[in-house]
Each structure stands twice: as structure tokens, then as C-alpha cells.
């Protein structure tokens, strides 16, 4: 928190003169509102400690920032899968805007757009491949322990951090997540406050992600 406050950005590996504007923390205090951040203290196989960092979702329009843990999927594959279908969804949206409200043609296009969006979400979810501490890898659909996967599941800090630790043979010792920036619209997140992993998106994943950890402690 002190470093975010002091630096006003997240691209810590760059010099101030080489910092990218999109990685500034200023937008978090404006209309875009704040974001969750997380740190995970881990022990390496040699006994030394390391600290992992993660942010929820994307930052500055990207999934990957040097010095921060990445997502549960290949960002390149995610972009390739999204690009073509999102263009079709946007094209349907433009056509819908030209039709009269309540018309049969408009309702049909709305249904088509909704079906296309759901199909895209299912395809994207198949790209998520979390790994637990037994070395088991599953798709998001098989790892998520409740029916119906909400938007953003797997993109929070705790899943990113635990997945990275499991993949790199690191033993988690302590996790902390905090909110940084302007309060969210529901006012359930306040600047500088710590919060546990969320119940809707994280808790159903943590059971799988933590499997095998008790065997290593």
C-alpha cells in the first residue's frame, strides 16, 4: 500500500521516466473506481521467502504486467478467441440500435446476441486451467464447485496467486487482499481496507486450488 501511494503506479520494474501512463493508479480514484490487490507470502523449496503480487481482472487494458502474477489462461489465446466473436456481437448491437423497440426483428437479434455472448463465455471459460498443490489441472467448469460460473470468476487476486504458487512449487504462508481507489458503486469496498476472498467468485474455486496444500505443510 505504501509503495502504491508513493509511486502512484504499478509498473515498479520501470524507472519513473519509463513508466507507462496506463499503469498509473490515478484512474482508480476517478470514474473507473478502485480495484482489489493481493499479496501472497510464500516459501521457496530452499527455505527462502518471496512475495507474489496480483491485481484483479485487467489493468490498463492488459492481463499481464511485469512483476505481477498473470491470469489463469494464455492472454494471447484469450485475445484470439475473443476478437472475432466480439466483433459479431458489436455488429449485432449496431443493427439492434437501428430497429424499433419491441419489434419482432429487434427481439430476434437481441436473442441472437445473448446466445452468442453466452457461447463466447463458455469458450473463454475453457481457457482457464487452474492447478492445485497436488499438481492437478482442471478447466474452470470442473474446478468451480457451484453451478453457474459468474462473470469474472478466476480473475480475482486469490485464485491468480494460489495458481501461480502451485505452478512454481511455492508454499503459501499468508495472503492479504485490499481495495485501492475510489469506493465501488455498492459501497462494499473502501480505499485502503482489507477484505477476504469474495464468496461468489473465489470461494467456490479455493477448495480445488488449495487441495494438496495440507500435505506440504
Give the pLDDT confidence of 146-177 residue by residue, as tens digits: 888 998 999 999 999 999 999 999 999 999 99
Distance of CA 201 to the CA centre of its chain: 10
Q: Is the pLDDT of residue 178 over 90?
A: yes
> How confident is the model over 16-54, as pLDDT tens digits?
888 899 999 999 999 989 999 999 999 999 999 999 999
Q: d(Cα 99, Cα 165) in Å, to the nearest integer?
A: 51
Same domain as 106, residue 28: no
Give the pLDDT of residue 17: 85
- What separation in angstroms does the CA of 201 have from each of 24, 59, 97, 169, 211? 26, 19, 33, 25, 18
Same-domain check for residues 97 and 196:
no
Per-residue pLDDT of 182-206, as tens digits, reads 999 999 999 999 999 999 999 999 9
pLDDT higher than threshold 90 for residue 2: yes
* pLDDT at 39 (0 to 100): 98
CA–CA distance, 42 with 53 (Å, rounded to integer): 11
Task: Please write the tens of the pLDDT for every residue from 77-112.
Answer: 999 999 889 999 999 999 999 999 889 999 999 999
Angle of helix 75-97 relative to helix 104-125, nearest 10 degrees, comes to: 170
Query: How far apart are alpha carbons 205 and 141 in whole angstroms?
Result: 10
pLDDT classification of 214: cutoffs 50, 70, 90 = confident
Domain total of the chain: 2
Domain boundary pick from 87, 109, 124: 124
* Residues 29 and 83 occupy one common structural domain: no
Co-location of 120 and 17 in the same domain = no
Same domain, 205 and 139: yes
- pTM value is 0.90
Segments forming the whole domain that contains residue 120: 78-124
31 and 100 assigned to the same domain: no
Amino acid at each position: 500500500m505504501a509503495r502504491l501511494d508513493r509511486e502512484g503506479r504499478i509498473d515498479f520494474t520501470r524507472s519513473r521516466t519509463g513508466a507507462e501512463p496506463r499503469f498509473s493508479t490515478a484512474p482508480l480514484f476517478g470514474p473507473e473506481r478502485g480495484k482489489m490487490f493481493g499479496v501472497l507470502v510464500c516459501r521457496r523449496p530452499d527455505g527462502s521467502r518471496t512475495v507474489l503480487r496480483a491485481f484483479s481482472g485487467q489493468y490498463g487494458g492488459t492481463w499481464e504486467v511485469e512483476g505481477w502474477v498473470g491470469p489463469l489462461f494464455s492472454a494471447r489465446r484469450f485475445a484470439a478467441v475473443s476478437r472475432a466473436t466480439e466483433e459479431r456481437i458489436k455488429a449485432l448491437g449496431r443493427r439492434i440500435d437501428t430497429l424499433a423497440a419491441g419489434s419482432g426483428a429487434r427481439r430476434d437479434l437481441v436473442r441472437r446476441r445473448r446466445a452468442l455472448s453466452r457461447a463466447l463465455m463458455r469458450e473463454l471459460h475453457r481457457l482457464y486451467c487452474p492447478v492445485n498443490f497436488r499438481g492437478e489441472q482442471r478447466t474452470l467448469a470442473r474446478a468451480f464447485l457451484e453451478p453457474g460460473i459468474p462473470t469474472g470468476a478466476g480473475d480475482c487476486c486469490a485464485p491468480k496467486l494460489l495458481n501461480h504458487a502451485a505452478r512454481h512449487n511455492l508454499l503459501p504462508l499468508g495472503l492479504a487482499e485490499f481495495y485501492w481507489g475510489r469506493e465501488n458503486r455498492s459501497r462494499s469496498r473502501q480505499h485502503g481496507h482489507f477484505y477476504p476472498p469474495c464468496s461468489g467468485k473465489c470461494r467456490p474455486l479455493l477448495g480445488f486450488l488449495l487441495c494438496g496444500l495440507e500435505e506440504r505443510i
